[in-house]
Structure 1
Amino acid sequence: MQTVGTPFLWGSFTMVVLTMLIIDLFLRGREHGTQTISFKQSTIWSLIWVSVTLLFSGVFWWYTESKVGYSIATTQTLAFLTGYILEKALAVDNVFVWLMFFNYFSIPASLQRRVLIYGVLGAIVLRTIMILAGNWLVMRFSWILYLFGMFLLLTGLKMIFNKEKHKKKMGYKIVVSWLSKHLNITNTLEGENFFILKNGVIFATPLFLVLVIIELSDVIFALDSIPAIFAVTTNSFIVLTSNLFAILGLRAMYFLLANVAERFFMLKYGLAIVLVFIGIKMLIAKIYHIPVAISLSIVSTILSSTIFINAWVNQKNNKK
């Protein structure tokens, strides 16, 4: 597979990820237990994850520049940042789905942290498998990028013109119904437990159902985000690292956005426009190559403009 990843870069990435996982998920988890994570704590940890990502991108540029020169290092680093921003932005919609099902199953905020710990760890494994499989396909069948482009274009247009929330809810309810028929499930939560032993029989709890739905939702949303980053680069190291760095900050981002979800009602349109742009970029790649720096600028402009317009509309509505 095409990659700029050397043993030093792969080793550095692995060390950073493992260190941050131990601190964020385990040491910090023991400290807070089942306490609700505050907005302030979520903000701080979101900034920490972004800072770690930017620091890694700096090390990546410095190391790559020393090996292959300024031009390639800059292009590859911009590809990494573009992939990171794309995944981070597209993950927002995923976060809102999590919030919807936490509310649907009446999962208290104190237990959401435990579900998200395993949800993020599962997402890391599933995304890694999907990215490596996708990269294998792209390397052997380059025409598949056109299928990705068409898929993203149609997905973006559907997000703009169709209301698919009801269909998505129905899809998840089918999964819940199937699990309910094939598993013994308790009617109530049993603390932090995903399973309990009752009269010699193993029962799953609603907390386990939510965990399954979170993993399923990540796979579904990955079908959008992974093809999108292949429009930026097919470099396996950049695709994987930018994707995983974005995922690792999802738990903090969830608690950050949980209290302001309703204020971001226009964000889906910004994400839809981004998908349309990425889809077109992939479809015209043979005719005209859009440089990574321009792609990064366009994606950043679309997302920042959406947030600005959203804030303006909210402010206008509050005055009424």
Structure 2
Amino acid sequence: MVDFLYTLWLGKPVWMWLGFHAVVFFLLAFDLGLLHRDKTREIGVRESLLLTAFYLTLGLCFGAWIWWYLGAQAGQEYLAGLVVEKSLSMDNVFVIAVIFGFLGIPRVAQHRVLLWGILAAVVLRGLMIGLGAALVHEAEWVLTFFAAFLIYAGVKMLVSGSEEEAEGETANRFVAFARKHLRVTRDLDGQKFLTVRPDPLTGRPVRWLTPLALALVLVNGADVIFAVDSVPAIFAITTDTYVVYTSNIFAILGLRALYFALAAMVDRFAYLKGALAMILIFIGLKIVVADTFDLVTIEPWQALVVTVALLGGGIAYSLWRTRAAARAEAAPGAGYLEAGTPPAPGVRAPGTVTNANH
């Protein structure tokens, strides 16, 4: 048994993989079993920020352990990967806000969707990272393909329209298809994904999907789409599968907590997309000029500094550009938001947009 634990799997001993997944299981059990046993309680901004800080601290502590056990190079690559994944996940948050707003999912039920979405994301990201690692191991030129894709994705993000509006159109088509071919209720049944209702033709009780189930499918679909960008991005930083996987999963674990903080002020980050696009372009160029043609040497800590600078600059610029609108909204009688999820940039306030459940 002891020999098995030290058997190498994807370049690292089995005990390192088992230990990491034990930590992930404990965190999910702690979140589900202790923090949110009361399903009627909403997660406020303050609690969201505290949970975000908690998960970020754990991720940094794990990075410190990697630095100590695997060396400075691996530690720097892990931190760079964590920051890149956190940065790109912010765009995912805005799309999730659109999905919840479109389907009319109240805040009190959003936590359940996000928690199960994270469980699915852990599995899906693991599969995608495993596939990426196999491709890179078999043919290093795949990294050059990743670079071209990241540059293309970054440029497209800079020049294309609102990704949130595109996701809204996708959600609309998906919901229309689901309602046409499946039994889907118009209203929620608490926080259930499935409910029992009479069949309109036979009158017999049958299982129906609820809008919460449609939200879960759309959230997982959005995560897969974003993983197409983020997985190549982190392989551009390091090809160590363990570092890639652990930094990716720690970024995902904090996504649910981060959502409730960012969703409450989503309009303040209307100009962040440009910074995220520049991060993708920078990482793609890093592969071309540093890894493929060896024109310059870019250390992991340098990539980390550039990523943090781009993200910080994007956040600062976005907050500065939206300061006037924020002051106007904060004026007495000016706000329209209550406890629900605020609309993403370009989506009108609740009450002025047609909801999928009406």
Report the TM-score when normalising by structure 2: 0.83
In 2, distance between residues paired with 1:35 and 1:111? Answer: 9
Equivalent of residue 253 in structure 2, options 244, 248, 253 = 248
Which residue is 1:20 aligned to?
27
SS at match of 2:36: helix
- Compare CA radii of gyration and give the structure with the larger one: 2
Equivalent of residue 82 in structure 1, options 80, 83, 88 = 80
Give, in angstroms, the shift of residue 175 of structure 1.
Answer: 2.6
Amino acid at match of 1:249: G
2:228 counterpart of 1:223: yes
Amino acid at match of 1:134: G
In 2, distance between residues paired with 1:134 and 1:290? Answer: 22
In 2, distance between residues paired with 1:307 and 1:45? Answer: 20
CA 1:318 to 1:110, structure 2 compared with 1: closer, same or farther past 3 Å?
A: closer
Amino acid at match of 1:22: A
Q: How well do the aligned residues superpose, as a CA RMSD in angstroms? A: 1.8
CA 1:168 to 1:102, structure 2 compared with 1: closer, same or farther past 3 Å?
A: closer
CA 1:282 to 1:172, structure 2 compared with 1: closer, same or farther past 3 Å?
A: farther
Answer whether contact 2:44 2:260 (CA < 8 A) is retained: yes
Give, in angstroms, the shift of residue 259 of structure 1.
Answer: 0.6
Give, in angstroms, the shift of residue 282 of structure 1.
Answer: 1.9
Amino acid at match of 1:241: T
Report which stretch shifted further, 82-91 or 279-288. 279-288
Give, in angstroms, the shift of residue 176 of structure 1.
Answer: 2.4
> Structure 2 matches for 1:170-249, cutoff 5 A?
170-198=169-197, 199-249=204-254
In 2, distance between residues paired with 1:318 and 1:250? Answer: 24
In 2, distance between residues paired with 1:130 and 1:34? Answer: 35
> Unaligned stretches of 5+ in structure 1?
65-72
Answer whether contact 2:67 2:76 (CA < 8 A) is retained: no
Q: Which has the higher helix share?
A: 1
In 2, distance between residues paired with 1:84 and 1:4? Answer: 20
> Unaligned stretches of 5+ in structure 2?
1-7, 198-203, 329-358
In 1, distance between residues paired with 2:79 and 2:264? Answer: 27
Answer whether contact 1:148 1:227 (CA < 8 A) is retained: yes
Answer whether contact 2:88 2:276 (CA < 8 A) is retained: yes
2:32 counterpart of 1:34: no
Equivalent of residue 10 in structure 1, options 14, 17, 23 = 17
Give, in angstroms, the shift of residue 8 of structure 1.
Answer: 4.2
Aligned length: 311
CA 1:316 to 1:209, structure 2 compared with 1: closer, same or farther past 3 Å?
A: closer
Which residue is 1:55 aligned to?
61
Answer whether contact 2:146 2:232 (CA < 8 A) is retained: yes
Answer whether contact 2:109 2:191 (CA < 8 A) is retained: yes
CA deviations on 1:259-300 (whole Å, 9 max, x unpaired) are 110001111110000011111112232222422111111111
Percent identity reads 37
Equivalent of residue 292 in structure 1, options 300, 304, 321 = 300
Which residue is 2:149 aligned to?
151
In 2, distance between residues paired with 1:267 and 1:191? Answer: 35
In 2, distance between residues paired with 1:185 and 1:44? Answer: 36
